[in-house]
Structure 1
Amino acid sequence: MAVIHRLDAEVAISRISVAGLHPISSLVRETAPSDVGTVGMVSGRTVLPNPLAGMRPNALGAIYMVIGSLGYVTNDALIRVATAEGLDVYQALCLRGIGMSVLFAALLRVRGVVVTRSQFSRPVFGRVGAEVVATSLFFAAIVNLEFANAQTILLIVPFAVTLAAAVVLGERVSALQYVTVIAGFVGVVCVVQPGTGAFSPWSLAAVVSAAALTFREFATRRVDNSIPAAFVGLVTAIAITAMTGALALFTGWNPLNGTAAVVVAAACLCLVVGYVFTIQTVRVGDISVSAPFRYTTLLGAVVLGYVFFDEIPNTLTIIGCTIILASGIYAIRLEQAARRITTDPASTTPSS
């Protein structure tokens, strides 16, 4: 759901929650030092040894990013599985949205957050609107395309954010960053394969979804820091639930059997896993180190597509995936180098 390299969106990871495709937020507390690594009693409960205690923070952050990313993509796969069990895709999303709305509402109540009219700001509505459009289009595509292909198209978002930041906001983008953007778009063209027998018009739905997510990232920047992340998550979840419920009235609302209910519940669980581990990623290590591991979404999509849907990517799709993967990781490295220069003025001063 998971994803998103010039990750300006990484600023949002520590504070904004997304209730649709790839949610990220700071919705859980940091683990207290006394909670990990030893056997003992904490607040009257037995604490078992943490097998990850003692690992370097960046290694732990990378592991958390992998788990979180796989949680998101597994959530997407399970929604598609639910459609194979007789549910309409928007019906499945509506049911999942109900569960996530309850979760966010409970979180707000536990935290004692008071919802005020001022929190319903224009940037929040812009962000929520973009998320609703992106979710609706992406899941329409995901049930009509090969699973890995739909996931791969979404990986264009970070490249689109970089390009939009340069064109719209006038941010400085280096020549090498432009090269990675062009390479990313070439990779998506390889996956979409226009003009060939493998092309599907549903690919365009995924492309427009990626465009909506790009808009979402810029809307996120404008959301006031004082607005609680859980509030944004709740509003987004309610909006997606309402939209998908309305769409399901037209596309079909089918009887809910036991298997489908379990699958939707599992999708909610995977979404929670994505939330929690993505949050912990930014708390235990450097995002610049863990960010490349979000591309495990791509590997997970290929594996899940084969296991659940008997899909094997063709040669051109594999080439496109490889281009996107390589250019995305290289873009992250470029951003790391740019940040080091910015934060270490001494590195730009010639030695005497």
Structure 2
Amino acid sequence: MPSTVPPKPSAIQHGSASLGIVFMLLGMLMFSLNDTMGKWLVETYPVLQLMAIRSVAALLVLLPLVLRRGIMTVIRVERPGLQALRALLFAIDATAFYFAVGYMPLADAMIYWLAAPIYVAALSPFLLGEKVGWRRWTAILIGFAGVIIALDPSRESLSMPALVALFGSACFAFAIMLGRTLRTTPDTTLVVWQFVGSLVFSLIGVAVVPGSWKPLDPATILLPALLGIVAMLAHVLVSRSLKLADAATVVPLQYTLLFWAVVFGWIFFGDTPRPTVIIGAALIVASGLFIFFREQTLKKFRQVDE
């Protein structure tokens, strides 16, 4: 899942908005490929082992960039406690996602993560002190209704993977909120901490959880490593997109993740979305888009008043 926070308006370059759109669409495609590969690889590798190899590969790709910028720019960060908490939340989020997709269709799992902006909007008045009016509260309630419909709570559908997916998406939402608080931290630093957190979390898990590491086959180790490289490319594309185009133009394109989840789930795994999933997804996407565009409108009003 994408974790990049839109930069401050002053950081957005006056470049090609069209190129920004292309980068965002490619970034979402790469994230979808990452999710598809993850679902396939968890059939062979334990989730924690997959997370560890993925994190090492991503950090190796990031290493030249970190060395060029100076390693101290990554080590000396503002509010290290919040940075560590954000990294931990993203580690739990990614682990929960790979666990969930091992048992449920890609599209089903993706819906819970696409609901994260709705959770953020609901919690922002209490944790960030942001004002939320009746229009956004209505959209939030509609979004939650979509989650419930997609979850289709019953003895058969309310499974452990579904609950893990809900928990993981909630961690993702809290990580997004921390990203808002840490928005002055460079993107590279945020991503490095994110993958370091995933590596530490997965290695501790491997040491504690029995059977979470299998002997590596040199012929196949490149596949989970490729997972980390694909995830890194996706983060780079999304970050670059947000620098080339306005957030209002490119952020809604993140919902193309659901399209790719349905397509790849059908092609590679023979998954067909349930009717309740389709209805719930429609409500979640509509709610998320309304909340986003409403926030953009209010931001413009505040800038005019200033």
Would you call these one fold, judging by a TM-score over 0.5?
yes
**Residues 13 and 153 (structure 1), Cα distance of their counterparts in 2 relative to 1, 3 Å cut:** farther
Give the match for residue 223 of structure 1: 182
Give the match for residue 289 of structure 2: 329
> Which residue, out of 31, 37, 43, partners 1:78?
37
**Residues 289 and 59 (structure 1), Cα distance of their counterparts in 2 relative to 1, 3 Å cut:** same
**Residues 237 and 66 (structure 1), Cα distance of their counterparts in 2 relative to 1, 3 Å cut:** same
Deviations 1:298-350 (A, max 9, x none): 1111111112211111111111111112222222222232223223349xxxx
Matched, 1:301 2:301: no
Q: Is the 8 A contact 1:180 1:330 kept in 2?
A: yes
Per the normalisation by structure 2, the TM-score is 0.88
Deviations 1:195-214 (A, max 9, x none): 25333221111111122122
Q: Is the 8 A contact 1:132 1:240 kept in 2?
A: yes
Give the match for residue 6 of structure 2: 10
Q: Is the 8 A contact 1:73 1:301 kept in 2?
A: yes
Give the match for residue 58 of structure 2: 100
**Residues 280 and 235 (structure 1), Cα distance of their counterparts in 2 relative to 1, 3 Å cut:** closer
Query: What is the CA distance between 1:149 and its match in structure 2?
Result: 0.8
Q: Is the 8 A contact 1:14 1:279 kept in 2?
A: no
- Alpha-carbon distance between aligned partners in 2 of 1:280 and 1:180, rounded to the nearest angstrom: 30
Give the match for residue 269 of structure 1: 229
**Residues 261 and 301 (structure 1), Cα distance of their counterparts in 2 relative to 1, 3 Å cut:** same
Give the match for residue 104 of structure 2: 145
Q: Percent identity?
A: 21
Higher deviation after alignment, 164-173 or 240-249: 240-249
Per the normalisation by structure 1, the TM-score is 0.77
Q: Is the 8 A contact 1:87 1:256 kept in 2?
A: no
2:255 counterpart letter in structure 1: Y
**Residues 221 and 279 (structure 1), Cα distance of their counterparts in 2 relative to 1, 3 Å cut:** closer
Q: Is the 8 A contact 2:84 2:197 kept in 1?
A: no
1:235 counterpart letter in structure 2: W
- Alpha-carbon distance between aligned partners in 2 of 1:260 and 1:211, rounded to the nearest angstrom: 33
Matched, 1:320 2:280: yes
Unaligned residue ranges in structure 2 (runs of 5+): none
2:211 counterpart letter in structure 1: T
> Which residue, out of 36, 41, 46, partners 1:88?
46
Give the match for residue 42 of structure 1: none
- Alpha-carbon distance between aligned partners in 2 of 1:210 and 1:13, rounded to the nearest angstrom: 27
Query: What is the CA distance between 1:11 and its match in structure 2?
Result: 4.1
Q: Is the 8 A contact 1:127 1:220 kept in 2?
A: yes
Give the match for residue 184 of structure 1: 143
**Residues 67 and 118 (structure 1), Cα distance of their counterparts in 2 relative to 1, 3 Å cut:** closer
- Alpha-carbon distance between aligned partners in 1 of 2:260 and 2:71, rounded to the nearest angstrom: 36
Query: What is the CA distance between 1:70 and its match in structure 2?
Result: 1.7
Unaligned residue ranges in structure 1 (runs of 5+): 16-25, 34-55, 347-352
CA RMSD, 1 decimal? 2.8
Deviations 1:47-93 (A, max 9, x none): xxxxxxxxx93333222211111211211211221123x22222122
Query: What is the CA distance between 1:116 and its match in structure 2?
Result: 7.7
Query: Paired residues, what number?
Result: 303
- Alpha-carbon distance between aligned partners in 2 of 1:58 and 1:332, rounded to the nearest angstrom: 19
Question: Which protein is bigger by CA-based radius of gyration?
Answer: 1
5 Å-filtered alignment, 1:145-294, equals: 145-195=104-154, 197-223=156-182, 225=184, 227-249=185-207, 250-257=210-217, 260-294=220-254
1:91 counterpart letter in structure 2: Q
2:257 counterpart letter in structure 1: T
Q: Is the 8 A contact 1:88 1:254 kept in 2?
A: yes
- Alpha-carbon distance between aligned partners in 1 of 2:143 and 2:243, rounded to the nearest angstrom: 29
1:123 counterpart letter in structure 2: L
2:214 counterpart letter in structure 1: N
Which is bigger in relative contact order (C-alpha 8 A, separation at least 6)? 2
2:41 counterpart letter in structure 1: A
- Alpha-carbon distance between aligned partners in 1 of 2:157 and 2:74, rounded to the nearest angstrom: 50
